[in-house]
Chains A and B, each alone.
Chain A
């Protein structure tokens, strides 16, 4: 017989309860029903280990297995409550190279245009009186043949001037 056999054997399990035992038994029953330790009502009469051992024994009955239907319901809640945005598929390597290359090329083109454009204040040849008269006649509805004749030498003169500037 162990020491502990004496502990239990010396007491009738159904003996009258003390006031403290009654309060503790009520607090324990309440805590087990609620699943939480109510720190207001009668908790001072419970020993620290009472609820731990009660929880351990309850756990041992099924070792904490969860019902499959509850598991599914919880997963549905997870999907409902989670704030997630699908992540885009990874960018292929060739796109990673193409994007900066294209950007660089565009930038280089812009620089080239800006720095090789016509100088500011460039003088173009002025049209002569014959060309202006031909333009007025064409605008009044007369034949455009005279304008074409006047434009030909002026166009040649203009292109020559531009060629000189860009050379």
Chain B
């Protein structure tokens, strides 16, 4: 779904109808809105901002709870409800970062790493809605092609196939501790190549 599709008249009329029904207590109407927008908000807003599936699920739940409680405050004004939910989600992610910083269990955002892959947008908070992320896998493949095959294998096993550490270590025929070091080196090699190809995000640039 592209940004212009989000703003189509049919979609806005459908949203208005669902919101009015939800405000009268019709849960199915709210569920329709949720099923339409929650996966996208999870994928495009919360995962990049939080970098962690469990945290992103918590934030998604909070986002729609707040959305449901404050639905009466939403005014259409020709803009999709998606953007309203997206803003709530963004604020929730920021709140979670603050809380986790205080408890010294910080979350990791990789949002800024995606920015160079996307077309220019005037509002940096809205990058997630402007374009599909089709280019991400292609860019990763390009970078992986430039790595030592051993590093590439470690990354593919651990991250792209989401296998356990022990399973990865077995596949690469090394001890668990050795695999941990291999993954660390592979990640740092990947980062160097990525920054050569795409550029470093501002906060990671060395002075």
Q: Quick check: A51 and B147 within 8 Å, CB to CB?
A: no
Q: How far is the CA of A113 from the CA of B160 in the complex (A)?
A: 87
Within 8 A of A (CB), among B157-178: 158-162, 165, 174, 177-178
A132 CB-CB contact with B under 8 Å: no
Residue of B with least CB distance to A18: B181
Residue in contact with B105 in the complex, picked from A22, A38, A52, A70, CB distance below 8 Å: A38
A66 to B100, CA, bound (A): 23
- Which among A9, A55, A83 is the interface contact of B108 at CB below 8 angstroms? A55
User: In the assembled complex, which residues on chain B have CB atoms less than 8 Å from the CB atom of A163?
Assistant: none
Question: How extensive is the interface on chain B, given as a class?
Answer: 35 or more
Residue B51 at the A interface, CB < 8 A?
yes
Inter-chain contact B162/A58, CB cutoff 8 Å:
yes
Contact check, B191 vs A53: say whether CB atoms are below 8 A apart: yes
Chain A, residue nearest B153 (CB): A13
Bound Cα distance from A49 to B64, whole angstroms: 31
A164 and B192 alpha carbons, distance in the complex (Å): 110
B100 surroundings in chain A (CB, below 8 A): 36
With a cutoff of 8 Å between Cβ atoms, the chain B residues found around residue A60 in the complex are: 136-137, 140, 159-160
Whether A65 contacts B136 by the Cβ 8 Å rule is: no
Main secondary structure of the interface of A (DSSP, over half): helix
A78 touches B160 (CB 8 A): no
Interchain nearest-CB distance for B173 vs A (Å): 10
Whether A66 contacts B39 by the Cβ 8 Å rule is yes
Indicate if the CB atoms of A35 and B184 lie closer than 8 Å. no
A59-B184 contact, Cβ under 8 Å, with A14-B150, A52-B109, A84-B68: no
Closest A-B pairs by Cβ, 6 of them: A86-B25, A55-B51, A64-B47, A57-B159, A64-B43, A39-B104
Q: Which residues of A contact B (CB under 8 A)?
A: 2, 4-5, 7-9, 13-14, 17, 21-22, 24-26, 28-29, 32-40, 47-61, 63-66, 70-71, 74-75, 77-79, 81-84, 86-87, 89
Instruction: Give chain B's interface residues, CB within 8 Å of chain A.
Output: 23-25, 27, 31, 34-35, 38-39, 42-44, 46-48, 51-57, 60-61, 64-65, 68-69, 71-72, 100, 104-110, 112-114, 133, 136-137, 140, 146-148, 150-151, 154-155, 158-162, 165, 174, 177-178, 180-194, 196, 203-204
